[in-house]
Amino acid sequence: MEKPSVLFVVSTTPIIAAGVGTFMEELVRFAGGRNAAARFSGRYPRLSVEALVAARPDVIFVAGMAGVERFPPEVTRWKEVPAFRDGAVITLDGDIVTRPGPRLVTALERVSAALADWRTKAAGAGEKR
């Protein structure tokens, strides 16, 4: 099974993801995923809805902070994204996942557990990823 494509979102309006060279990318990599934002330029690229749809992440982590937890519900294209379609949009405590330091151990545990759960569901669905 391939590593799941993971988008780590730090803002939903506008959509801003953790790109190459961020500690959130390292969390995803250590947990066994690959960064869906690696194809975009910049450490924290701002994504259009079209760019997010084209990235087709299997899992989306949202750094939960005031006003960040939800993607705009009026966007009808979310169903084209595997993470939305399969219920794999996961809000994590922003206090734990947005600040490098000792709490990154907890962040890694949560990201790893979520990706393990995704793998179990994907295997059960017979998906070859």
Q: What is the CATH number of the domain that holds 92?
A: 3.40.50.1980
pLDDT digits (tens, 9 = 90+) for 88-122: 999 888 888 888 888 889 999 999 999 999 999 98
Q: Which domain holds residue 61?
A: 5-124
**CB distance 63 to 92 below 8 Å:** yes
Domain assignment present for 41: yes
Q: CA 32, CA 30: separation in Å to the nearest integer?
A: 5
Q: Whole-prediction pTM value?
A: 0.89
> Which single residue is written with the structure tokens 């809000």?
91
**Structural domain total, the chain:** 1
SS (H, E, C) 24-72: HHHHHHHCCCEECCCCCCCCCCEECHHHHHHHCCCEEEEEECCCCCCCC
Domain assignment present for 92: yes
pLDDT higher than 60, residue 128: no
Segment holding 97, helix H or strand E: helix 94-97
Domain assignment present for 129: no
